[in-house]
Structure 1
């Protein structure tokens, strides 16, 4: 019975972790889509030599990323590490981001990666951190916003040579940011697979233990005693037969 309870506890833990891992999948995917959308907008601006609408796309991508990274489950911020009681992203507008000395200052998460025991002697690190997912795309957000507000801006209309050079470089930077986000997605996918394997093993164990306990609890004691006595008599008879055979020699057959 104790083993059944232990397996049940592990499955309950897996279910709770699964809720967070599934949320990571959705929200990291949203950040990835926002980054790709911005990248495409920059590529289009360079290709058409016109930045009309680029800053609106930047603002939209930034807003989506902030919202995704500040996701909460049961009141807890899931991208904050051990700091679950405060938003891991502290800025809410591009102006807020521009006011910071560094884009990394926008993140308030610590570096504690959440983990959980999902089987006897087995733990899984499943936590995702806001800066681990999006530090590079936030750097791009800030660079583009700062450039727009700087002497070579604004980014609204036909491209200048300086603007073209800047945006061409930024396309590569955003690609690197997308790869960082994709790495987080892969890590989350691996965690999800481990949960599936562990839960399947626990389910098989749980079914076996339930069947075993049911057989023990449902047994008829009188019937079991009778069967045991019959088995003992039969076993004794077998021993006697073997002993007799062991005492025979060729003379017994002559």
Structure 2
């Protein structure tokens, strides 16, 4: 008598059916999400690379944001520095006049322009106060107040520390200048002019006296030197702007590279995913038919 046993075949067919169902489910997930898996397990041995790349991407985003903020501040600072330079240029022009009647009015206007530039704010913070960005860097608002100070250094109340920002792994940039560093010389000129005007050889008259002309000529040299120094600061600010802009673009390029690398590892090819899905469907269908046929096997089929 022939012994007919289907138990082993049925068990094998059931395992094939379960594997086919799992393959179809995974292929369907890949096709719908475009990803190889819902977590790092889906990328296997490349999980460590993905984790490191995501950390680097987060860091690049932070550096880019820092560069954007720094660039905005440096742009505003450039405007303020140019206003300061223009005010000193007006002072220089006033000091070349031989008419003493209106010279102090022009000098006063120049002084106000310089003070306003030095007290400029960006997003509510004083740009030239160093780390004391909640405090006006200039303590004086008039030439009379400046002339009354024992020394010109008393006109400043900024901190001694310039604010810096990290825009790359190994790069920190100075994003703020100190009022005392850039304006001590020009404020010293304003102070000497105000003291002269209030002293025994003042006020300025038209025509100027010989003493007044000699004073103006001598002080003009100091003003020219102070203006050149401020123009140099404007130039250095421009260098910083270019550096920050370059860093911002570098961080953007780094992000694009990392995003691309992560996508290459995590994402599935749509065409390949569709093919795998169709194949998995076909395999499941065959496995289901095989299992169904085995579970319907009976001795009656052989005794008929």
Q: TM-score range by the shorter chain?
A: 0.7 to 0.9
Q: Residues of 1 paired with 2:220 and 2:270: CA distance?
A: 77
> How many Å apart are 1:223 and its aligned residue?
4.0
Note the aligned Cα RMSD (angstroms): 1.9
The answer as to 2:183 corresponding to 1:134 is yes
Partner of 1:72: 121
Unaligned stretches of 5+ residues in structure 2: 1-53, 277-304
CA shift at 1:218, angstroms?
2.4
What is the TM-score of this pair, normalised by structure 1? 0.82
- Distance (whole Å) between structure 2 residues aligned to residue 188 and residue 194 of structure 1: 10
Pick the aligned partner of 2:142 from 93, 112, 119. Answer: 93
SS of match in other structure, 1:214: helix
Q: How many residues align?
A: 222
- Aligned partner of 1:153 in structure 2 is 202
Query: In 2, distance between residues paired with 1:136 and 1:79?
Result: 16
Alpha-carbon distance in structure 1 between the residues aligned to 2:267 and 2:163:
43
- 1:185 Cα shift? 0.9
Q: Say which one has the larger Rg.
A: 2
TM-score (norm 2): 0.69
Relative contact order, higher structure (CA 8 A, sep 6+): 2
CA distance in 2, matches of 1:23, 1:216: 43
Deviation at 1:19, TM superposition (A): 1.5
Superposed CA offset, 1:166-200 (max 9, x none)? 00001101001101211211221111111122112
Which of 89, 96, 102 is residue 43 of structure 1 equivalent to? 96
Partner residue, 1:30: 83
Q: Which runs of 5+ in 1 are unaligned?
A: 228-254
Other-structure match for 2:258: 209
1:178 paired to 2:227: yes
1:2-21 matches, cutoff 5 A: 2-21=55-74
1:223-242 equivalent positions in 2, closer than 5 A? 223=272
Q: Does 1:188 align with 2:206?
A: no
In 1, distance between residues paired with 2:172 and 2:111? Answer: 34
